[in-house]
């Protein structure tokens, strides 16, 4: 549990943040230069706030008033740096055990074999960092921080230097960590993809301030933040529950407030919670219930508002049983259909993406391949 309130001036830049982060993964999201890294450097003790207080698990790490400033080596926080920062003169094993061996055995909450196993780095132990690929380096850096048995794991865009494939490979590892080792994670990112695939809580930062925080789905759905959270890319993000599986056709039915959605068979038990992402360009609109159609996911909706987007496109905001959906249509289609706010319509969902599986106990997760409905 992290509880902080800090202020710091760096040249013309003023950072002023109050934040609480609980269990699970909290994403600090914002454009570069919004102060995300500065903030976690303060938590780690690598830089000093001018004013404020930082508390982790009821232990005061910094308090300007009383002059408390615990040095980084006594804060017991794990830090996974953007560039990895592996020690070039030590082997992978030497890197992994660097913090671990400084911990008295009875204080170690994380076991060496477990970490090596979870991260799949057993075959690298004798190698040196220079001989590792980018993905391997990231995993070793994560393992090294974990093995110091931290109270919180701070991760500063640990995947930024990796290509999309390696990223998708590592995301599940990170989701695993938070639950398997019961360590809260503060994850800095400027990629919405990562946030949707990882985080439980989203903290939006801009110009050194927190402009919103809360559960990922709620923050992403807020219309006042849509430019900021990049909704055009994300579309609607919603939570759904696994209702039942149809093994004959290989589909899973998911329930949410607006009805039922069919996706490719998921390997999850009934009642498990998943995060879905429905891109606005994957949503078409019809004014009458379409018949004889290959698309299986058709939901009754109410048009809430229309706003022009670039390139003669219109963003249509829809209400689907209390859940917000977005559809992007051409202005030609708009004039043809004559859509106005308040109209009843049918949303045709061409694709539904599982952003994160099994949120309830985050045991298995990751960006699964697009689960396309049977069209």
Residue 110: CB minimum distance to another protein, A: 13
Q: Both tokens of residue 58?
A: 């009821």
Least distance from C-beta 85 to another protein, angstroms? 4
Nearest to 35 by CA among 171, 204, 174: 204
| Residue 99 near another protein by CB under 8 A | yes
Contact between 79 and another protein by CB under 8 A: the answer reads yes
Q: Closer to another protein at the Cβ: 145 or 301? A: 145
d(CA 301, CA 29): 31
CA 190 to CA 36: how far, in whole Å? 9
Q: Is 78 in the site for another protein (CB under 8 A)?
A: yes
Is 258 a residue that touches another protein (CB under 8 A)?
no
102 touches another protein by CB under 8 A: yes
Interface with another protein, residue 131, by CB under 8 A? yes
User: Is residue 134 close enough to count as binding another protein by CB under 8 A?
Assistant: no
Q: Smaller CB distance to another protein: residue 147 or 368?
A: 147
Please, which residue, 145 or 354, has the CB nearer to another protein?
145
Q: Find the shortest distance in angstroms from Cβ 90 to another protein.
A: 8
Q: How far is the CB of 84 from another protein (least distance, A)?
A: 9
> Is position 77 an interface residue for another protein (rule: CB under 8 A)?
yes
User: Which of these segments, 6-14, 49-57, 129-137, 197-205, binds another protein (CB under 8 A)?
Assistant: 129-137
Q: Sheet holding 313-320: strands in order across?
A: 283-286, 344-349, 298-308, 313-320, 323-330
Considering only residues 11, 58, 65, 88, which one is a binding residue for another protein as defined by CB under 8 A?
A: 88
For the stretch 74-111, what's the b/e string if a residue is b when 16 or more beta carbons lie within 10 angstroms of its beta carbon?
ebbbbbbbbebebeeeebbbbbbbebbeebeeeeeebe
**Can you tell me which of 14, 46, 232, 253 binds another protein, judged by CB under 8 A?**
46
Residue with smaller CB distance to another protein, 72 or 215: 72
Cα dist from 317 to 109, 168, 197, whole Å: 48, 30, 24
Contact status, residue 279 vs residue 327, Cβ threshold 8 Å: no
In whole angstroms, what is the distance from residue 120 CA to residue 136 CA? 9
| Tokens read off for 119 | 């991260």
89 vs 292, beta carbon nearer another protein: 89
CB of 6 or CB of 352, closer to another protein:
6
Q: In sequence order, which residues have a C-beta less than 8 Å from that of residue 180 and are 6 or more positions away? A: 114, 118
- Residue 136 CB, nearest approach to another protein (Å): 12
Q: Among 67-75, 223-231, 268-276, 293-301, which window interacts with another protein (CB under 8 A)?
A: 67-75
Which among 40-48, 161-169, 207-215, 276-284 is the span making contact with another protein, rule CB under 8 A? 40-48
The separation between CA 156 and the C-alpha centre of its own chain, rounded to angstroms, equals: 13
Q: Kind of pairing, strands 185-189 and 153-156? A: parallel
Q: Which is nearer to another protein, 81 or 228 (CB)?
A: 81
108 binds another protein (CB under 8 A): no
Is the separation of the CB atoms in 141 and 86 below 8 Å?
yes
Q: Where does residue 331 rank: exposed (0-12), middle (13-18), buried (19+ CB within 10 A)?
A: middle
| Residue 103 binds to another protein (criterion: CB under 8 A) | yes
* 357 φ/ψ sector (left φ>0, alpha ψ -120 to 50, else beta): beta
Report the interface residues with another protein, using CB under 8 A.
44-46, 71-79, 81, 83, 85, 87-89, 98-99, 102-103, 127-131, 144-145, 148
């Amino acid at each position: 549990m992290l509880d902080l309130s800090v202020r710091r001036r760096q040249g013309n830049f003023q950072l002023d943040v109050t934040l609480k982060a609980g269990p699970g993964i909290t994403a600090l999201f914002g454009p570069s230069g919004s102060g995300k890294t500065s903030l976690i450097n303060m938590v780690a003790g690598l830089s000093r706030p001018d004013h404020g207080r930082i508390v982790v698990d009821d232990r005061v790490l910094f308090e300007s008033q009383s002059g408390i400033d615990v040095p980084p080596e006594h804060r017991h926080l794990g830090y996974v740096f953007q560039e990895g920062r592996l020690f070039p003169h030590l082997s992978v094993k030497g890197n992994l055990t660097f913090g671990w061996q400084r911990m008295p055995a009875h204080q170690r909450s994380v076991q060496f074999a477990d970490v090596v196993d979870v991260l799949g780095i057993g075959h690298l132990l004798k190698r040196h960092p220079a001989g590792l690929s980018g993905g391997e380096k990231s995993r070793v850096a994560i393992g090294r921080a974990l093995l110091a048995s931290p109270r919180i794991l701070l991760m500063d865009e640990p995947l930024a230097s990796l290509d999309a494939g390696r990223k998708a490979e590592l995301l599940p590892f990170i989701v695993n960590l938070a639950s398997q080792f019961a360590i809260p994670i503060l994850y800095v990112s400027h990629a919405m993809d990562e946030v949707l695939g990882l985080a439980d809580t989203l903290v939006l930062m801009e110009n050194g301030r927190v402009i919103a925080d809360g559960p990922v789905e709620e923050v992403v759905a807020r219309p006042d933040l849509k430019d900021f959270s990049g909704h055009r890319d994300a579309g609607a993000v919603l939570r759904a529950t696994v209702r039942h599986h149809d093994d004959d056709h290989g589909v899973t039915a998911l329930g949410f407030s607006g009805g039922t959605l069919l996706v490719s068979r998921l390997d999850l038990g009934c009642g498990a919670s998943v995060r879905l992402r429905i891109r606005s360009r994957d949503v078409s609109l019809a004014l009458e219930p379409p018949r004889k159609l290959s698309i299986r996911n058709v939901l009754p909706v109410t048009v809430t508002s229309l706003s022009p987007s670039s390139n003669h496109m219109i963003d249509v905001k829809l209400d689907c049983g209390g859940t917000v959906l977005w559809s992007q249509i051409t202005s030609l289609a708009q004039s043809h259909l004559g859509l106005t706010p308040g109209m009843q319509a049918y949303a045709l969902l061409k694709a539904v993406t599982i952003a994160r599986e099994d949120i309830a106990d985050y045991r298995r997760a990751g960006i699964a391949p697009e689960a396309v409905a049977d069209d």
